[in-house]
Structure 1
């Protein structure tokens, strides 16, 4: 049985920002700790470019919101457009002030909806949470 599942959250489309901040903080602290341990060896060896490598660990928590965006807007583009047409036609989103914007320049959503789309074999379920 093949299950294809897609979750569209109009309030936080890139995931929980607090969780991403927490993961980024933990990886930043771990990369700083790793840097503290290995920096004297790299400096003595004259390998200054290797000092940047521990900070590459921070790509991991930043990759999750990027993958969510790519999954919605590129991989499942047709499904995303259909769900957004439903959301806009039923006016399920309440926007804040026109001056308040998100990081990507979109209007800030005050009250949104979370839609879970699940396709099991032939049947299609759309749940609004």
Structure 2
């Protein structure tokens, strides 16, 4: 079983809790972008976008690199993969529980049908 750092996941989920930051990740999923371009796309100040990108970078969801005078951003795919693996564990658990519930409901339905056939005789 994959073990995850609680602090790592807390940072990732906190970063993902904001709509602007999720939007930044969507934008970067299509292509790398500068902080200035992201600020323009989201109609916010450069300072505001730097803060959002900083939170994403601290969580490992985004990587930045200074190229000349421009700070470029790109996805940090490993952390998204880590979050996805963590979520996948819970998806599998819930699927197993729902499958068990389906089994119980099917058995109850069979019992009800048997009872109904006996009652109509």
TM normalised by structure 1 equals: 0.27
* The structure with more helix, counted as a fraction of residues: 2
Q: Which has the higher contact order (CA 8 A, sep 6+)?
A: 1
Larger Rg: 2
TM normalised by structure 2 equals: 0.28
